[in-house]
Amino acid sequence: MARPVFIVDGSRTPFLKARSGPGPFTPVDLAVQCGRPLLARQPFSPDDFDQVILGCVNVIADEMNPARVAALRLGMGEDMVAFTVQINCGSGMQSIDTAYRYIREGHADMVLAGGTEALSHAPLVWPNSGVRWFAGLATAKGVAAKLAAAFKLRPRYLKPIIGLERGLTDPITDLNMGQTAEVVGHLFGITRAQSDAYAAESHRRLTHAQAEGFLKGEVETAFSRDGKFFDHDDGVRPDSTAETLAKLRPVFERPWGQVTAGNSSQITDGASWVILASDAAVAKHKLTPKAVIVDSHWAALDPGIMGLGPVMSATPLLQRNDLTVKDVETWELNEAFATQVLGCLAAWNDDKFCRDILGLDGAAGEIDRDKLNVDGGAISLGHPVGTSGNRIVLHLVNAMKRLGTRRGVATECIGGGLGGAMLIEAV
């Protein structure tokens, strides 16, 4: 029989907005920064885990298989099995889901599952024409041949391509993620004013959460090698209002688009971990679980409307557990774009969409905004791609505990036309 899987603890770094050039931490640095205090406060040894699973999308060349590198730097022992997973924006949640299934089926008792991403370290890459020129120069034999190859150099061969920009462009539709949000907004009639109002509220909620100390115990201070410390998500703009955001120009579809830098998630560096344990591990180490994972679901859809991934994944998850959207007391829906979040809410409340696409008898219902992203989201704190799915699960658990709610869903859209959702219950 399937065993219960508990979320015991977790922590994350502050999310640091990418600015000019590489930030102070690589992906593994970030994972270690929040992993050390998390492991240090546990009543068991770091080598008591069965395995380490880490989501990461932009793996840098010096840190191949960052899960293994992080595990070794965290003192988890040479015998620790550690592997990295990648499903774009869902990578951090995929690490939890993979660990959940290992434990549920009896193949492990305790797993450290996380996500990390340093988008500021995303590489610049050579155009293919430049690569071919370098290859020709390298393979030329003799001085004359090398000189001839060298003289073929053209300035355009050396013009770098921004790797992050290509990574955020779907290779099938050739739409970048912002353009897919525009499509979703158009389908459901989301206005610019609605998107800006949502974005301003995200900043207000995160500002309030920071001021009230709601993130204490979740966000660990990170220390860089030059002695600087980082103790909060630094992308939040407390002075953001719908009126100030309305002054920004559309980024992806000018001049009439709805998506701007102000109502989109921020390009950010950050890491997050959660500890998952079986009932046997809980008893052995005298742990106090925070929540239990009830179920999870992954879905796929047209990449051009990838923003509807939460609707396509969370709906069958709820159906399988005989629940409706009204039965969920706390929601974490990753804020890739305000327009995309509002499009999901509109889809659930649209009778025709729910009948024709979801196979329901009618509209799924309206999600109470007071139950959704109660402490802000990626618009105000950032979206380190491989991390966000892990963070929303971790924060959902902590928010449920603070609010005294029993049931929650963490869900997200995923580049490439995917969606993920996880059903959590308090214990």
Active site residues: 89, 383, 413
Q: Quick one: how far is CA 13 from the chain centroid?
A: 13
Question: From CA 14, how far away is CA 27, in angstroms rounded?
Answer: 13
Distances from the Cα of 336 to the Cαs of 182, 262, 365, 366, in angstroms? 12, 12, 22, 20
Distances from the Cα of 130 to the Cαs of 133, 144, 153, 158, 201, in angstroms? 5, 20, 8, 6, 46
The CA radius of gyration of the chain, in Å to the nearest whole number, is 22
Phi, psi of 82 (to 5 degrees): -145, 130
Which two three-digit tokens encode residue 158?
């050396």
Judge contact between 239 and 2, C-beta under 8 A: no
Which two three-digit tokens encode residue 228?
């600087």
Hey, what amino acid is at 242? A
Distances from the Cα of 412 to the Cαs of 88, 298, 384, in angstroms? 11, 10, 13
Buried b or exposed e, range 374-394, using 16+ CB within 10 angstroms: bbbbbbbbbbbbbbbbbbbbb
- For the chain, the 3-state helix, strand and coil shares in percent, each to the nearest 5, are 40, 20, 35
